[in-house]
Structure formats: C-alpha cells, structure tokens
Amino acid sequence: MSDPIVWIILFPLFGAVLCALAGPWSKTICYPVSVLSMVASVWASAKTLLQAIEASTHEVSYILGGWSLDLFPRGVGIEFRADILGGLITLVVTGVGLIVTLYSRLPVQRETPGKESMYYGLFLLQIAGLAGIALTGDAFNLYVLIEVAALTGYGLIALGSNRAAAATFNYVILGTIGASFYLLGVGYLYLKTGTLNMVGIREVIEANQMYDSPAMQVAFVLILLGILIKMAFFPFHAWLPNAYCHAPTSTSCLLAPLVTKVMIYVMIRMILTVFGVEFTFESTLWTEVMPWLVVVAIVCAAVMALAQREIKRMLAYLIVAEVGYMVGGVWIYNYYGLIGSIFHVISDACMTLCLFLGAGIILEKCKTTHFDGLRGLFARMPLTMIGFFIGGFSIIGLPPTCGFFSKWYLITGGMVSERWEYMVTLMFSTMVMVILFFRLIERMHLAVSESGQNLGKGHGDLGLTERQTRFDEAPLSMLIPLLLAASVVLIVGVYNQDIVDQIEIFLQPFDLPTGVHYE
Amino acid sequence: MNDTVIVEDIRPLIALLAPWVGMIGIIWAGERRPNLRELFTFIAASVQAAVVLSLVPLILSGAIVEFHIWQIFSYVPMQLRVDGPGLLFACVASVLWIATTLYAVGYMRGLHEHAQTRFYSFFALSLSATMGVAFSANLLTIYFFYEMLSVSTFPLVTHMQDREARTGGRTYLGYLLFTSLCLLLPALSWCYVWLDGGHLTMDFIDDVGKVGHFGETTQIVLLFLFTFGFAKAGLMPAHSWLPGAMVAPTPVSALLHAVAVVKVGVFCIYRIYADVFGAEVLSNMGGEEWTMVLASATILISSFIALSQDNLKRRLAFSTIGQLGYVVLGAGIATDRGQGGAVLHIAMHACGKITLFFCAGAIFVATGKKYVSELRGLGRKMPLTMGAFMIGALSVIGLPPLGGFISKWYLALGALDRDATWVVVVLLVSSLLNVFYLLPVAVTAFFRTSETEKNPSFKEAPWPCVVPLVLTALGCFFLFFWSDVLLQMVGLEP
Amino acid sequence: MFEEGSIISQLLVERLNYFIYVVLLLIGLWAMIAKNNLIKKLIGMSIFQTAIILFYVSIGVKEGATIPIYLPEHDPHGSHASAEHNDTTASGPQVLEASKVSGYTNPLPHVLMLTAIVVGVATLGLALSICLRIYRGYGTVEEDDLLLKLEQEDSQNSGGFKKRRPRRRPSSAKAASGATRAASSEKSKSEKTGQGNRRSRSKSPAKKSQSSPASEGKKPARRRPRSKKPKEGDS
C-alpha cells in the first residue's frame, strides 16, 4: 500500500457504512467492525507518519483525483498533505479513537441500547472527519471535514438522554456559527488569492505582499473567530460543559480529548501554513491582545472548574482551561511556545482521554460522578483510580507524566517572550488544578464530609457498608483501555524528546524567534 | 577536581529501585500475611542500606560514582551521581529506614492501626524518592524526586483519614506544592533557558557557578526563589506545614523529621548553595547575608515557640525547624567548613531527632500521654525510653561526646572563617534555648514524681519500639567517635 | 450623497453584494440569539448560512460571461478541435489560455456552494430532529420554558443527591450508603423513564420535593422490609 494517507480515512469510512447497513440485522457485528477498522486506521496513520518523517521534504502529499501540482499555485485538486505536525495529530486521533472504541462496548450497551449500529456508524465517521481535518491541505475541504466532524458529534451526543439532546441544540447553534465564520473567511481568502490550497494561498500572499490588505485582515479575523468558537475558547465555551457532561460515556470519551485539540491544530495550521508567520504575528495586532484574552480565559475556566461538584463538569471546565494554555502558547509568538503548544495538544489529548475514561468507569460503577458519592473508591477500584490519577497528575504537571513536559516548554516560551502574565497565569491555574485533584483524592480517601464532620468510627473507617468497600474493579473491557491510556501518558512523557525533535524539524522552515540568551 | 575518578556503577540505581521491588512484595503480601509483609520491607531496607554502605569505601578513596538513567530532554539527562555529601545523606536515610521500620512495626501493631499495607508501601516509595534526591546529579533530576517525595508522603500524612488529617494534609501539600510549582519551577526553567544559549544541564559538578553570569538582581531573586521553593527545608515563613503534619502517626513524623522529608529539603538547599551557585558566587553576591539572617531568625524564633509548646510532638516539630535553620545557615556561610558542617548536621540531627521522636511515640503507645506536663515520674516507669530521650536531647543540644557537638563545632568554625562572629553568638544562644526546651522533659520524667502513681512499675513500650530508640541513641555516640569518617566524606580534614 | 467613492455609494452601489450578505448574516445571527422559539432559531441559522452562500456566489459574477461549459469553438473533443490543442490524446479536461478563459464565469464558487448547501441541509435536518426529540421529551420548543424545565431536572438529579440523606436514614452512619442507593435509583430511573415522567413532573415544579419521596418511598420499603422507621414527609 503506497498511499496509506488515504486509507487513514477510508478504513473508518467503510467501517461506518458497514455498521450502518449491516447493523440493524446483527447488533453484535458493529463492535468488531469498529475495532478492526480503527486498528487498520492506526496502522495506516503510523505508516504515514513514518513516511513523513523519512521524506526529504518531511511531508507526504496526495492529490485526490490525480491532478498535477504544476497547474496554478499548487494545483487545482484537493490535496491531502501529511507533514510531521499533521502526521502526529492524525496518529493521536486514530490512537485515541482506537482506545475509546475498545472501551465503548459496555457503555454503548448500557446507555444507548438498540442504537449500536447508528452509534458506531457516527463514531467511525467522527474519527474519519477528525483525521481528515488533520490531513487535508485544502482550505474548503477543511470546512467540509469540520462540519463532518461536527455533525457526527452532534448526533453522537444527541443519541443519549433527553437532557443530552437539549444540550446538543445549543452546540448545534454555536458550532454552526463557528464553522460558518470559518467558511466566510475562506471566501475572502479565495477572493484575494484565487486558490484554496493552503500552501498555495501562502505562496500567493507572499508573492504579492498582501500583508496590509484589509480583505486579508478580515479573512484572518473571521477564520480565527470561527476556530475559537469551535475550540471552546472562553467566552465562546458555553456549549462545552453541558454537551460533554450529559453526553453518553463513550461519546464524551471520544469528543473531549479530540475535538478541541484538533481545532487548535487547525489554528496552528492557519497561522503557520496559510497566512504565514510574518502576516499573523507582525502585521496584525493580535499578538498584543491575545495573551491577555488567554489570561482571562484560563483564570475564569479554572475558577469555574473549582465551583463544580461533579467530576465530568469539572473536567469539561478543565478542557476550557487547557485550550487557553494552548492558544496562549501559540500567541506568545516564539519557538518554545509553539513547541509547547503542539506538544500540549498531543499530551492533553492523552491525559484528557485518561480522565474521561476514568470518569466513565466511575459513572458505570457508582451510578454518579457527584463528589458526594465517591468515598472509598481507592479500596474499591484501585486500578481505575491509579489510571485516573495518572491523568490527574499529568494535568497538574508532575513529572514524569507528559503534562510536566508540555508545561515546561510553555513556561520556557513565556519566559523567552517575557510574557509574565502568561507565566503567572500558568502557575495560578496549576495551583487550582492541584486543589481540584487533591480535593478529589480527599473525597475518596478521607472519612470527612465536606463541611468537616468526621464520618465513620475513626481508624480509617469511611462510614460505608462492606459492599461499598470490597474490591469491585471495573470490567476489563473498560479497565484495560484506561490503563493503556495511562501508560501512554507516561510513555509520551518519558519519550517526549523524540516527539519534540520531530516537532522542531517541522518548525524549522518557519522563522520563529527563539529569544535572547545570555552568555 | 581534575583527578577525581568517575566510576560508572549501577549501585545507585539499585538503591533507588529496591524500595519499588519491596513495594510490590508488600502489596502482594497484603493485610493477610502481615509478618511476610514486614519481612519484605526489611529486605528492601537492608538491600538498600547494604548497597549504599558498600559505596562508602569507593567514595572515601576520592572517586565519584555515576549512573545515567535516561536522556529526558535532548540536553539534560536524568542522572545519578554519588559524592561525599550525597552518600552521607543516603547512608543516614537508609540505615534509619531499618530502625524506623522496626519501630513502625511495634507502633502500628501496638495501636492496632488500620491500612498498614498502604502505610508500608508509601513509606517505601518515600525512601526511594529520598535516595533519588541524595543521588541526583543535576537540578532537573533533583526536582523530579523532590516532587515524587511530596506526593508519596501525602497518604502517610493523612493516614488517620479524619478531620485533623484533612487539615494537616491540606497544609502540608498546600505549602509544599505551592512553593515548588510557583517558586521553584520558574527558577528552574529560568536557569535552563537563560544560561549558555539554553543548553545547560545544570549539572552539580560541571555547571557550578554559571549562575554568576546573571545580573545582581537576577541572582538575588533566583536565590530567593530557590530557598523558599524548597519549602521542605522549613525556613520561616514556609514552615507551618511541619507542625501541621504532626497529625500523622509517629513513625511518619520520624520519617518526616529525621529520615526523609526535611532532610531532603535542606539537602536540596545545600546543593543549590554549594553546587549551583557555589561558594564564590555566593560570596560575591550582595545578598547571601540575608540568607544567614533569615536562617538565624528561623532558629531563634522557632526555639522560642518550642519553649511554649506543651504537646511533645509539636515541641519537637519546632525544634526541628530550628535545627534545619542550622543547615541553611551553614550552607549560606559559604565557607568550606561551614558547608561541611551543614551536611554533617543533617546526619547528626537525624540521629538525635529520630531518637526523640521514637521516645515520644513510645510514650504514647505505652501510656497514651502526649503532653509534657503529663510526663511526671515517667522515668521510673520507662527508664530506657527516657534515658534515650536524654541522650538524644543532649545530642541535639550539642554536647560532647555526642554527635551533635561535631556539626555545631564545624558550623561555628565556618562562621569564624568569614569573621561572622554574630553567627557564633546565634549558635550559642540557640543551644541554650535547646537546653531550656529539651532538658525539662527529661528532668520532669526522672526527677519529679507523678501525683497519681507513687511507685510505678516497670512498663516499657513493646520491644520493637524500644530497641530502635536505644540503637539510635547509641548511634549518637557512634557518630561522635567515628566522626572522622564522616568528615572525610564531606571533604573536611578531621 | 451618491457620488463615486462616498460611503453610501460604496455600500449600496459598488459593494452591494457585501452589504446584502452582511445584512442577511446579521439577521440570521440575531434570530439565532434573540428568538425564543427553537424553530425560529433554526430558521435564523438557515438565513445565516444562506447569506454566506450568496456571498460566495456573488463573488463569482463576471460581466458579460457565459456559463462554464465549453463553447463550441473552444471544444477540444468535438468537430471543431483546432490544431493548437495537441494534447487531445490525454484524458481529462484541457487547460485553455487566459484569453479564452475570460469569457466564462468561474465555476468554483458554485461548486463550493453546492457542498455548503448540502452541509447546511444536513445541519438543518439534524437540528430539526433534535428539536423533535426535545419536544417529545420536554413538551415545549420555547427556549425559556425549556430552560426552566432543564434547571428543575438538573437540580433534581444532582442537588437531590444531598437532600436525600436526612430523609432516608436520619440517625445513622449509613446515611451515605442510603443516599448513594437512593440517588442511584433516582438517577437510573430518570435515565430509563425519560419521557413519561418528565411531563408529569414538569407539571408540578413546586411540589417536586413532595412528589419524589412519594415515588421513592415505595422503592426502599420494598427493598428493605425490615425498616420500621416511618418516612418523614410521606404522603
């Protein structure tokens, strides 16, 4: 197979069609088909990434329909272009998709019985859409794939309870606004440059020195606004807590780690590949404003996460805060910040996956994720708690989890650009996250009620029945993906240098400032 | 330093990993086979102590042992290195682990404590982290193990799982994590970003004094961030976590105060002062005077507070804060003898303080008493315990022929080396204060009779509690008579 | 006022298409935000997307150009194939020179907008089915009523967790376990029954605290027949 890049999307696509068509006859076929197509997709994306790393230009390119690249700036066909960044993100998307597919057998049976074929069809299409976003090299095709991912996401959430359907409506409205603004921006780009190919757009901008053109400025603003809405950047985040909290378990496990991170990838792609570093950072005033917006975003999201009394809503607000980290890492405009941002996309996907998988197991076993129902979980489900808290420690930033390394690069970036407001906000939000997760540990571990009254009879008695404290671990089909995700968090942390090396190779052609160094 | 032999050896890694293997055994043995579980702890502790002690001859001959674990960043490795001060700290910690385990067996079983498996496993993890700190070769590695220690001691501090444990745990972790994430991490990344084009390893041998390339204010700010970032060292005002952590069972307090946690804190500060800044940079800087002032203030204030405490463990906690101030003071003096005395004090204080804590715990197990005012006449009932307490107290006060004398002597000599006579005055005053708050305990026990029991019978704590404290009391003598070995390890001539 | 280059002239004469699409966009956006009825919001969404489609189509307009289908004289495959186009053997479309191209409108915006229309239709269909689901579940498509019902439901599901504890076992340490079980039965019940109970509960919002233990009270009594304590506040 010489072009695994297309197969990354085709395997889930065929799997989705198979699930949707054959599912109504045989419910049990959906799960194996999904797992197989995801395994094939992971294999294809690993091959593509290796191809991209070994290629001389560090990218793999595939024009759909076989159009030649010589026509017009970079061709008239839709190009699928996997450079190292795209390859990494695709691998993350398909890998997370595989883990959630493995995990999803029981939750889908419990929460959406009888709808498995629809569910898995939408599930696989969602992964195909997200992978396509990471792979495409065409601005309009990106809109189409954003909408594919969004629509399937709406469907996946609305398949749950009525409350989920009510939450989806808000998501539909806001998501459509965001994608439509993006489309409008692409329209302006097409108007001025005449091409839709991402690299081609930049070539035309640079050839004609369009940096001061008002149309380009408007295009940039519209695209940025659309992407910020879709990535739930404060204050456009209002759709996220309700949508992810009330969604079925495996839906939130799939959407939460991936959707917002892929949108951040889109923002990075727009900035670096389409508009170019010079246009974005030096011709616009956004570099001055965005870090302050980021500060507000992180602080508000962290404080709102503190106010929550339920694990899934707390995690949803944590996602909003992490989005703030990544946006900040990009807009402080330097080399290390961007390395930190890209690495944080990868590591945040892994650690959010860990947390949501754990929250799903807690929901399954304890029937609630409210803080009051969590006592004694360490004795009851020690392995689940280890997996969950590896994700938690990664969010706090304790070594050797991957969260520490991404924070390291972000702090380095903040220091190099002398963005002290960003650094102080990082420290503040780290402290808030310490409080959040150790509060959870306290709830599970201590025999104290929230108001400070001792429960139980002392000496470690938690005031629970024997049935609630005996060892009752999660079912294996849910536990193994969680432990897999936790080990990925640790592996990405320990092997962070290999990933960062590749990110640095990707960032070489863009002239990002690396800061002044004393001697 | 050019003629030091560098030996590549896996023994530091073995010392680091032995507790992890022990932990697997502990969890496997579990609550159903407690004797087997305790055996695993002893095996792990003995292996660790044996490995560490086997490195002593190598280090005394002037060599340095290194082991490269992993290249965590492309220019910074996670690396272990064994040199004199590190080995001294590691010896103290690993030998005292054996004693603490024996004591913990007696204490936990005597009080029928719950969740002993969890207790012993996290104990082992904490010791692994302590070894990591002792053997770290660069700033990043020491930071990794420092954080690991904070997290692994949290379940120990909140062992009782009640309201007081919650408050104690919150204070403990709040102080430690706040300072390390908000003060230490920025200081760390500052060094890594701004020195030498950003490709420095901040190795403790290769990169000594590079911090001197920064401007004056930056150096002072960095020193400030590092000193308070390592809040485990208990410098005021970042000291409140220590009395708050007294809610833990006594073996944990012994671990915190003598074996691991605070020693890690001051050891890290020693490393910063001696091996990141270096004596020359410190002397050239305007600001290391205020470190000495701060440390002296800590010593004096905590001694005064200790005078007013009636709860024995709290009194000992404030005493520890003061004694840690000595180490910081010695590190800040920035002379050879001062810094050597600081490292020595880690060892001497460890032995003396652990004896005191063991005694306090034994008293609680045997009689349930926690307050100094209740201890009248206890000397007749528990002569071994109170005798060991007396010896430990004298060591902490600093009288020969006990170990504490040697370290205080060298601290004073180091202060005189740079004509800071006021430091010697501080040392003398604080030793006097130590007398006032430690000796009355022993005096009350031996020379006062209790109102309730006129002729108390001999009833010591269970033997696993008494044996360790007798051994550590004897250790205080031992450290005095073998002090030349220790002096050689820290690089001073005996 | 209407001379060349003035603002009014630019808005209404030179750049009329932009003006129109902006107006439509804002109408759609306003409807999505300000309208109370969910269907009207969706109509607003449709208007919003239509505005963008109109924008794209309008930028492809060329004066005096014909539709983008090969005119007979440019046809490389037909009987008028000229000698210039030597690469007729290659399959696929041919590239015309610039002078010949100027007579055709640009097909690309139309093609893009076909895709966008399809996306819009799909979104609209999905959103309408979600509206239907909301109507079946909550009995209303007015946003303020819906929000009220959602608030009640949320407070029952999560706030009710704490309120259960004193009612179930007022005096023992088993309060937590009772609360867990009660809340879990409440939550699984609400997950399973969904539609039917919603309507009956939503009709009496103020009496929710009384109605729920009434329905809940039977369940624990069935499961724990040994419980002799009378339930407080039971009807």
CB within 8 Å: A370 and C158: yes
Condensed to tens digits (0 to 9), the pLDDT of residues B404-441 reads 888 898 888 888 888 888 888 988 999 999 898 888 88
How far apart CA B328 and CA A203 sit, in angstroms, is 61
Q: What is the mean pLDDT of chain A?
A: 90
Asked if residue A424 has pLDDT above 90, the reply is yes
Question: Which ranges in A307-370 belong to alpha helices (H)?
Answer: 311-331, 335-366
Strands B64-71 and B6-8: parallel
Residues C111 and C174 both lie in one domain? no
Which of A342-356, B203-217, B322-336, C30-44 shows the lowest per-residue confidence on average (mean pLDDT)?
B203-217
Q: Is the Cβ–Cβ distance between A257 and A349 less than 8 Å?
A: yes
Same domain for C56 and C109? yes
* Residues of the domain holding C134: 1-63+105-141
In this structure, the answer to whether residues C180 and C129 fall within a common structural domain is: no
Q: Which residues of chain C have pLDDT under 70?
A: 1-5, 74-95, 158-235
The dihedral sign for the CA sequence A256, A261, A262, A266: positive
Residues C177 and C131 in one domain: no
A293-321 in b/e burial notation, b at 16+ Cβ within 10 A? bbbebbbbbbebbeebebbbbbbbbbbbb
What does the alpha-carbon distance between residue A181 and residue C49 come to, in Å, rounded to a whole number?
Answer: 10
Encode pLDDT of B367-383 as tens digits. 888 888 888 777 777 88
Among chain A residues, CA nearest to B73: A497
In sequence order, which residues have a C-beta less than 8 Å from that of residue A351 and are 6 or more positions away?
Answer: A391, A394, A395, A401, A402, A403, A489
Contact at CB, A151 and C59, closer than 8 angstroms: no
A chain contacts of residue B194, beta-carbon cutoff 8 Å: 415, 517-518
Chain B contact present for A382, CB below 8 A: no
The pLDDT value given to residue B287: 65
What DSSP designation does A59 have? E
Domain encompassing residue B294: 287-494
CA distance B218 to A411: 17
Rounded to a whole number of angstroms, the distance from the CA of A281 to the nearest CA of chain B is 23
Q: Which residue has the higher pLDDT, A76 or A337?
A: A337
Q: Looking at the domain assignment, is residue C147 inside a domain?
A: yes
Count: domains in chain B: 1
Q: Are strands A59-63 and A79-83 parallel, antiparallel or unpaired?
A: antiparallel
- Asked whether residue C48 falls in the same domain as residue C153, the answer is no
Residues of A in contact with B30 (CB under 8 A): none
Q: Which A-chain residues 388-447 have CB contacts (< 8 A) with chain B? A: 393, 396-400, 407-408, 411-412, 415-416, 423, 427, 430-431, 434, 438, 441-442, 445-447
Tokens at B433, concatenated:
């204060």
What pLDDT digit, counting tens, does each position of B59-73 carry? 888 888 888 888 888
Q: Do C95 and A71 touch (CB under 8 A)?
A: yes
**Surface of B (194-213) touching A: CB under 8 A:** 194-198, 213
| Listed residue (A295, A277, A274) closest to A227, CA to CA | A274
Phi, then psi, of A284 in degrees rounded to 5: -105, 165
Find the closest chain C residue to A191 by CA distance: C59
H-type alpha helices, B260-382: 261-271, 278-284, 288-308, 312-333, 336-367, 378-381
User: Closest to A497 (Cβ–Cβ): which among B73, B162, B185?
Assistant: B73
What pLDDT, on a 0 to 100 scale, did the predictor assign at position A320?
96
* A364 interfaces chain C, CB cutoff of 8 Å: no
What's the pLDDT score for residue B452? 66
The answer to whether position B231 is within a domain reads: no
Contact B115 A445 (CB under 8 A): no
**Residue that wins the pLDDT comparison between C142 and B115:** C142
Q: What mean pLDDT value characterizes chain B? A: 86
- Write phi, then psi, for B125 (nearest 5 degrees): -60, -40
Of A310, A367, A455, Cβ closest to residue C188:
A367
By the 8 A CB rule, do A385 and A444 touch?
yes
Total domains, chain C: 2
pLDDT digits (tens, 9 = 90+) for C112-145: 999 999 999 999 999 999 999 999 999 998 999 9
C138 closest CA partner among A486, A163, A65: A163
Judge if C45 and C149 occupy the same domain.
no
Q: What percent of chain A has pLDDT over 90?
A: 65
Q: How far is CA C5 from CA C8, C14, C59, in A?
A: 8, 9, 20
Q: Does B221 touch chain A (CB under 8 A)?
A: no
Chain B residues closer than 8 Å to A454 by CB: 162-163
What is the tens place of the pLDDT at every residue in A4-50?
899 999 999 999 999 999 878 888 889 999 999 999 999 999 999 99
Separation between Cα atoms, residue B165 and residue B154, nearest integer Å:
10
The sheet carrying B6-8 orders its strands as B6-8, B64-71, B77-82
On whether any CB of chain C is under 8 Å from the CB of A110, the answer is no
In a domain, B102, yes or no: no
Q: CA–CA separation, B267 vs A448, rounded Å?
A: 35
pLDDT of B444-477, one tens digit each?
Answer: 888 777 666 666 666 777 888 888 888 888 888 8
B127 in a structural domain? no
ipTM over 0.85? The verdict is yes
For tokens 């969590």, the residue is A374
Q: Are residues C147 and C134 in the same domain?
A: no
The pLDDT score that the predictor gives to residue A36 is 95
Residue A460 contacts B, CB cutoff 8 Å = yes
Least confident range from A460-469, B153-162, C88-97, C126-135: namely C88-97
Q: Are residues C23 and C46 in the same domain?
A: yes
Question: Which residues in chain B have Cβ-Cβ distances shorter than 8 Å to A462?
Answer: 161
The 3-class SS string of B446-489 reads HHCCCCCCCCCCCCCCCHHHHHHHHHHHHHHHHHHHCHHHHHHH
B182 shares contact with chain A (CB less than 8 Å)? yes
- On whether residue C225 sits in a domain, the answer given is no
Q: What percent of chain B has pLDDT over 90?
A: 19
Main-chain dihedrals φ then ψ at residue A499, nearest 5 degrees: -65, -45
A339 inside 8 A of chain B by CB = no
pTM of the model: 0.88
Q: Are residues C152 and C169 in the same domain?
A: yes
Of residues A282 and B46, which shows the higher confidence score? Answer: B46
What mean pLDDT comes out for the span A329-338?
90
Domain annotation covers residue B366? yes
Mean pLDDT of A328-340: 91
